[in-house]
Amino acid sequence: MARGSLTGSRIRERRTMQGRKQADLARSVGISPSYLNLIEHNRRRIGGKLITDIAHELGVEPAALTEGAEAALLDGLREVLADTEKTDEALSQLEEFVGRFPVWARLLVETRRRASDLEHSVEVLSDRMAHDPFLSTSLHEVISTVTAIRSTATILAETRDIDPQWRDRFHRNMAEESARLAESAEALVRYLDEASSVEFEASTPQEELDGWLRESGYHVAEMERALPPEPERLVAHQPRLRSAAARSLAVRYLRRYRRDAEHMPLAAFLEAALQTGFDPAALSARFGVDLGAVFRRLAVLPAGKVGGQIGLAICDGSGTLTFRKSVEGFQLPRFSAACPLWPLYKALARPMAPVRRRVEMGGRSLHRYLTYAICQPSQPAGFDGPQVLEAAMLILPEGLSELGASEPLLGIGTSCRICPRAGCAARREPSIMAEAF
């Protein structure tokens, strides 16, 4: 059913919301109740002066009745159907469902959005609980302190004849260990309270940098100027960058950002990126830079100017992620190891060999992306020094790239612990999410 054919449903909805009778509305606009009944059941077309009069009586703009505000609802319901075994018949009934039952449609969309948010929270918090180094250290300290207190208490309880000097020493040790246990437990509880939100406080310099970049949208406008400020001055008073180590990482990031901006000026690069369809090879040739630099530049383009977010993951030779910019549906783990099937790691194993793969991220909704990856070696310590590897993977969502239905599709996940894909040959550990999907 076309959107315009739902005008009658919208009229009925507005009338019933206002508690007006059909006969009263019909009389006020000069038509019979039976004719209005046909209109409200979408059996008669309506336009011109009549739609204007009805809109005036209902206190709305005519466009609210003829065009409706269901575009977002329709998109949301399509996402709901994408999570299920949808049928062509269900898709064809979406607009009629929205027109007849807008409240239920909004409820379904909100429920689906809430479920997606909760799933993401479970993924992030599970990742943290399993791999957070601070949490692991804190628990180890608590267990060690409890063990020390228990050992001292056992000695005092089982030894009847103990020298007073030794007894006083044991009592002093128990008091000190108890105080340390209380402090450790308080710090751990405070840390877990902060972790109750997905956007918890950073506990490492890398997390501080990630949080700062996330807040700025990864686009640092100051570095785009003809005469940019010194990176040290720019990061000196950033509240997110609390530690000296985090500020050092930020300065290194901004220096590289500035070099990329000098070789690929924002306006010219944005125009070229849109013209080439975000093709990294074409952009590399046009600006005379390596693919890694193109990846980084694409990832920091303002989302509003390119029509969506562009993701980027960078890792060192050990496979540890050193830069994370997620896109919707493609989350990058903060603590645990990432999926070994990512094209990022295929590129890491083959330095200087570009990799282009169409991938599908597992989950309740199967999101598809076009990824480009490259691993580039460097010699920061000189020609005879150790070779340092850095691999980068550009992530283009389906809406920004020409995926090509004929290209093979690689199924991947975020990390093994929260990946629902069954029968994966590269799985390291069972997934806690497998039964949820």
185 band by pLDDT with thresholds 50, 70 and 90: confident
392 Cβ contact list (under 8 Å, min separation 6): 291, 292, 295, 296, 312, 313, 314, 323, 344, 373, 374, 375, 376
- For 411, phi then psi, to 5°, come to -80, 125
Looking at every residue in the chain, the average pLDDT score rounds to 81
**For residue 112, what is the enclosing H or E element?**
helix 102-131
**For residue 394, what is the enclosing H or E element?**
strand 388-397
74 band by pLDDT with thresholds 50, 70 and 90: low
132 band by pLDDT with thresholds 50, 70 and 90: low
Task: Tell me how far apart the alpha carbons of residues 292 and 47 are, in angstroms, rounded to a whole number.
Answer: 57
SS3 of 94, please? Answer: helix
Where b means 16+ CB within 10 Å and e means fewer, 115-142 reads ebeebeeebbbbbbebbbebbeebeebb
Q: What percent of the chain has pLDDT over 70?
A: 78
298 Cβ contact list (under 8 Å, min separation 6): 273, 278, 280, 283, 310, 312, 394
Per-residue pLDDT averaged across 126-144, rounded?
Answer: 68
**pLDDT higher than 90, residue 283:** yes
SS3 of 140, please? Answer: helix
Q: With beta carbons less than 8 A apart as the criterion, state whether 72 and 65 touch.
A: no
Q: What is the pLDDT of residue 2?
A: 43
Q: With beta carbons less than 8 A apart as the criterion, state whether 371 and 394 touch.
A: yes
**How do residues 358-379 score in pLDDT, each as one tens digit?**
998 876 667 889 999 999 999 9
Task: Tell me how far apart the alpha carbons of residues 400 and 379 are, in angstroms, rounded to a whole number.
Answer: 35
20 or 4: whose pLDDT is higher? 20
- Whole-Å CA distances, 5 to 98, 166, 262, 291, 298: 12, 91, 54, 50, 43
Task: Tell me how far apart the alpha carbons of residues 112 and 127 are, in angstroms, rounded to a whole number.
Answer: 23
Q: Which residues pair with 375 in a beta bridge?
A: 391
91 band by pLDDT with thresholds 50, 70 and 90: low
Q: What is the pLDDT of residue 72?
A: 59
Task: Tell me how far apart the alpha carbons of residues 411 and 408 are, in angstroms, rounded to a whole number.
Answer: 10
**For residue 374, what is the enclosing H or E element?**
strand 367-378
Q: With beta carbons less than 8 A apart as the criterion, state whether 428 and 418 touch.
A: no
Report the half-sphere exposure of 83 (CA within 13 A, side-chain side).
18
Task: Tell me how far apart the alpha carbons of residues 186 and 188 are, in angstroms, rounded to a whole number.
Answer: 5
**How do residues 402-412 score in pLDDT, each as one tens digit?**
666 567 889 89
48 or 265: whose pLDDT is higher? 265
199 Cβ contact list (under 8 Å, min separation 6): none
- Torsion of Cα atoms, 203 then 205 then 207 then 210, to 10°: 160
What is the edge-to-edge ordering of all strands in the sheet holding 367-378? 321-325, 311-316, 388-397, 367-378, 355-361, 409-412
